Amino acid sequence: MNQPNEIIQSPLFARQKKRLPKNQIKDLDAAVRKIIQDPEIGNQKVGDLSGVRVHKFKSMGSVILLAYEVIESSIFLYTFGSHQNFYRALRKYVNR
């Protein structure tokens, strides 16, 4: 796959990112750069989340999940967070 032309943050993603401490923002940015280099790095989801990929990365000793979707030549960043209630919130956001 070619390099994506643009990265689009959902309003939810932008709000969540604003609330993070600086060291967690650095970890999140590193994960996004990794996704830009290889957009197929995340696990492909099926069912009502088909098309969405989830990439796992570590930040401050805990595992964080980052949900994104590759649409043509752009990457749409949905949300991120710990595993607790992550998929429930993601389903609610994607299927609205």
Each of the 96 residues of the chain gets a pLDDT tens digit; together they read 567 789 999 999 999 999 999 999 999 999 999 999 999 999 999 998 999 999 999 999 999 999 999 998 899 999 999 988 999 989 988 887
Q: Find out whether 62 and 39 touch, Cβ atoms under 8 Å.
A: no
- List the domain boundaries for the chain: 6-94
Per-residue pLDDT at 36: 94
Per-residue pLDDT at 4: 77
Per-residue pLDDT at 46: 92
Task: Report CA-CA distances (Å) from 89 to 39, 58, 67, 80, 82.
Answer: 22, 20, 11, 10, 11
pTM of the model: 0.91
β-strand 43-44 against 74-81: which pairing, if any? unpaired
In terms of Cα–Cα distance, which of 77, 35, 33, 74 is closest to 52?
77
In the CATH scheme, what is the homologous superfamily, with its name and number, of domain 6-94?
Answer: RelE-like (3.30.2310.20)
